[in-house]
Amino acid sequence: MAERDKMNSSTSGGIHVVGICGSIRPGSYTRIALTEALAGAAANGAVTQLIDLREYRLPFVTATDGPEQESADVVRLRSDVRSADGIILATPEYHGSFSGVLKNAIDLMGFEEFEGKMLGLVGVSGGRMGASDALNVLRSVGRALRAWVLPQQVSIPDASSVFDEGGHISDPRLGKRLRDTGALVARFATVHKWATADEFVQLWQKAPENPGGDAR
């Protein structure tokens, strides 16, 4: 059964935010960062769920209508994401792009899961340049799926220097930035769900611009 880390708030108002972890490595820094971002969403009124792809037996995609779409875990993944108002995608950067496991998971889904949803991005890199390349590709994917991709994103360079041996974030500024990103996903999801279209557009246009600078 898939692991579901759910954090509730008495002021949830029916907002649901899922985080999809694009790393299946034990002790993944990406998972730690995603958990922190989800904590920010929960603190701002969302019910959250961490989708750990290690817990889903996903076949490789062959076509949008291929037989793998009938797989029980594919159906479950699509249902979990479809139920969300906001999504946070977290990935390690591999060779200038996001992880293959996350790419396959996204390719097994489509507009029904992403269209009109708030989408936050978190990237983790072992190198000094951060994960901006991976996040830029994910941003394009989010737009292709007609999601509202938040301007703010978190690119984490030198991952081994900002996570301690106990699996905690040692840089308080990074922790805050991750929580702020999760909070923005929850806030815009709330506005998108309950406000008028004009109110949402006005708030969206005032969102802070962030072309993916490193979280240092």
pLDDT tens, residue by residue, 149-163: 999 999 999 988 888
- The predicted pLDDT at position 208 comes to 65
How far lies 127's CA from each of 9, 61, 124, in Å?
36, 30, 9
Asked whether the predicted pLDDT for residue 12 surpasses 50, the reply is no
Mean local confidence (pLDDT), 197-211: 67
- The predicted pLDDT at position 70 comes to 85
* List of residues 6+ apart from 5 with CB closer than 8 A: 35, 38, 48, 49, 50
How many CB atoms neighbour CB 39 within 10 A?
Answer: 18
- The predicted pLDDT at position 210 comes to 59
Average pLDDT, the chain: 87
Domain boundaries, the chain: 16-205
- The predicted pLDDT at position 9 comes to 35
Q: What is the pLDDT of residues 86-121, one digit of tens each?
A: 999 999 999 999 999 999 999 999 999 999 999 999
Fold classified for 16-205: Rossmann fold (3.40.50)
* List of residues 6+ apart from 150 with CB closer than 8 A: 118, 119, 120, 121, 181, 184, 185, 188, 207
Nearest alpha carbon to residue 189 among 53, 18, 8: 18
Question: In whole angstroms, how large is the CA radius of gyration of the chain?
Answer: 16
Residue labelled with tokens 């394009």: 140
